[in-house]
Amino acid sequence: MTELVDLTAQELLVLYERGETSPVDATDACLAQIERVDGDLHAVLTLCDTRARENARESEKRWRSGNPRKLEGIPYGLKDIIETQGIRTTGGSRLYADYVPAANATVAGRLEAAGGVLLAKLNTFEFAFGEQGAFEPARNPWDLTRTPGGSSSGSAAALAARELPVAIGTDTGGSIRVPAAFCGITGFKPTYGVVPRTGVMPLSWSLDHIGPMARSAFDAALILAVIAGSDDLDPATTAMPPCAGDNDLSVTDVKGLRVGFPVDWFFDVCDSDVRLAMEAALSVFEQGGAKIIDLRLPHAHLSDQRGIGWSIIYPECAAAHRDNLDRLDEYGPNFRQLLTNAQFVQAAEYVHALRVRERIQADFQTAFESIDVVLTPATVAVPPPLDDLTATIGSETYPWLEVIARATTIFNLTGMPALAIPAGLSREGLPIGMQIAAAPLADYLCLRAGVWFQAQTSHHRLVPTGAHLPSIAGLSR
């Protein structure tokens, strides 16, 4: 029998409608799961159990009265850089350890208005950057000695461990998609501006994205339909976001879909297991009738986060934190180093990075004249140990920050939508993620391709098992 904590949001909504379970039952099951496993996992920073149970009871009343909202009674979590009215929002930092916002972030308010039940604020790297800040790092449910990735570490770990069915993360260089790949879950970075950033602690204003994390592409689409849309307080938001109601996610085939498969950059440095998983995924699309097209991106190598990525992130982050520079000693060592480095980025470097960014965008604009989507790895390596954050690829060992966002940063620079979904396991039994990207505002094309792929495969139904989290072993889909 499938347990409540293993159900997706879509499946829960069906059962609520049938009266076969209730938001109270689902919330209690998730809270019990958090109690069972989070002492080892550290995905949760602030538990909202009392409020969650109250909201679940209200949702149950709405279902009984025939007046449910879009996400009525669906438990969810928020990365702890997303502000929540009356609930501590730490940013993963000592600087905000006791900060209680007076208002909700736009995305938090939209989820609440849609009937979602907030269970927890979830672990994050400090202000969504680089490495862990003030709190115990979240751990990967597949192997507690390994990182779940960052910076949406708690969101991905909580989903994989069945603590909740959906969560919200943020993504500046891959911070939704990297942990999604490392933890074997689904993560979606929408087109830049589709989801408002109002009330979300900033890292880099021109690269920051907010997006859904879940255990299926269909659930990601459900959440996106609620949180997307323009916001007067965020001038970067688009006035015409994609709408789930106008897009059929029940895709029966991908015949004629033109899938671009890069022949360079993404695979120049890539673990052999990851490469094999990408080739297997490509075969699934090809067998479904998709047309596979070799893709060359002349300027992809310029997307290296150590290059123009840092040249954009550093000054924009420094600007966001300028009012706290006199409290530098209260930041964690990694974030403090970022702010220190940021003081040495010259205006000419920043402007050059923005110009190079336009070249990469132009490459994709040309590519989309002959393709519909791009298929790449989500990460080029499997999750490394927490006590040795390096990536071993073949005979070479790399500092993880040099390669971890190799396949993801490029889609922050271009603002394109990109979906990370499970694509199998490595020989060590660790998750491998693939990435489907599309042209700006073609968000639901990404999601439809992901929904179709997950209908053909069972990678997204795999559950962490074995000695690491025995309390979730045995769950089956």
Q: What is the mean pLDDT of residues 419-424?
A: 98
Cα distance between residue 274 and residue 313, in whole Å? 28
Neighbours of 238 (CB within 10 A): 19
The confidence score (pLDDT) of residue 264 equals: 86
pLDDT band at 476; cut points 50, 70, 90: very low
* Torsion-angle region of 85 (φ positive above 0: left; ψ -120 to 50: alpha; else: beta): beta
pLDDT, tens digit, 9 for 90 and up, residues 175-186: 999 999 999 999
Asked if pLDDT for residue 1 goes beyond 70, the answer is: no
Cα distance between residue 396 and residue 330, in whole Å? 36
**24 domain residue, yes or no:** yes
pLDDT, tens digit, 9 for 90 and up, residues 61-76: 999 999 999 999 999 9
Q: What is the mean pLDDT of residues 76-92?
A: 98
pLDDT, tens digit, 9 for 90 and up, residues 225-243: 999 999 999 999 986 655 5
The confidence score (pLDDT) of residue 239 equals: 65
Angle formed at CA 347 by CA 344 and CA 353, multiple of 5 degrees: 100
Percentage, residues of the chain above pLDDT 70:
94
Per-residue exposure over 87-111, b if at least 16 CB sit within 10 Å of its own CB, e if not: bbbbbbbbbbeeeebeebbbbbbbb
Q: What is the mean pLDDT of residues 436-459?
A: 96
Q: What is the mean pLDDT of residues 384-413?
A: 91
Asked if pLDDT for residue 401 goes beyond 70, the answer is: yes
pLDDT, tens digit, 9 for 90 and up, residues 278-331: 999 999 999 999 999 999 999 999 998 667 888 999 999 999 999 988 898 999
Tell me the HSE value of 188 on the side-chain side, using a 13 A CA sphere. 35
* Window from 66-75, 384-393, 424-433, 462-471 with minimum mean pLDDT: 462-471
Domain interval for residue 107: 4-461
**153 domain residue, yes or no:** yes
**469 domain residue, yes or no:** no
| Cα separations in angstroms, 465 against 141, 142, 145, 225 | 8, 7, 14, 32
Spacing of C-alpha 344 from chain mean position: 30
The confidence score (pLDDT) of residue 389 equals: 87
pLDDT, tens digit, 9 for 90 and up, residues 139-171: 999 999 999 999 999 999 999 999 999 999 999
**250 domain residue, yes or no:** yes
Asked if pLDDT for residue 473 goes beyond 70, the answer is: no
Nearest to 145 by CA among 380, 334, 382: 382
Assigned token pair, 466: 């074995």
pLDDT band at 475; cut points 50, 70, 90: low
**421 domain residue, yes or no:** yes
Is 188 in contact with 220 (CB distance < 8 Å)?
Answer: yes
**299 domain residue, yes or no:** yes
| Residue numbers annotated as active site | 79, 151, 175
Contacts of 477 (CB under 8 A, 6+ apart): 2, 6, 458, 461, 463
Per-residue exposure over 202-227, b if at least 16 CB sit within 10 Å of its own CB, e if not: bbbeebbbbbbbbbbbbbbbbbbbbb
Helix (H, G, I), strand (E, B) or coil at 252: coil
**Residues facing residue 231 across a β-bridge:** 234
Asked if pLDDT for residue 203 goes beyond 90, the answer is: yes
The confidence score (pLDDT) of residue 465 equals: 75
Q: What is the DSSP string of 368-422?
A: TTT-SEEEEES-SSPPPBTTS-EEEETTEEEEHHHHTTTTTHHHHHH---EEEEE
Cα distance between residue 112 and residue 71, in whole Å? 9
pLDDT, tens digit, 9 for 90 and up, residues 99-139: 999 999 999 999 999 999 999 999 999 999 867 777 999 99
Cα distance between residue 146 and residue 388, in whole Å? 9
414: domain CATH number? 3.90.1300.10
Helix (H, G, I), strand (E, B) or coil at 97: coil
**468 domain residue, yes or no:** no
**190 domain residue, yes or no:** yes
Q: Which residue has the higher pLDDT, 250 or 176?
A: 176
Cα distance between residue 249 and residue 266, in whole Å? 28
Q: What is the mean pLDDT of residues 372-390?
A: 95
Asked if pLDDT for residue 408 goes beyond 90, the answer is: yes
Q: Across all residues in the chain, what is the average pLDDT?
A: 93
Contacts of 65 (CB under 8 A, 6+ apart): none
Q: Could you give the number of structural domains in the chain?
A: 1
Length of the chain, in residues:
477
The confidence score (pLDDT) of residue 232 equals: 94
Assigned token pair, 396: 């070479």
CA-based radius of gyration for the chain? 21
Asked if pLDDT for residue 460 goes beyond 70, the answer is: yes
Asked if pLDDT for residue 207 goes beyond 90, the answer is: yes
Q: What is the DSSP letter of 433?
A: E
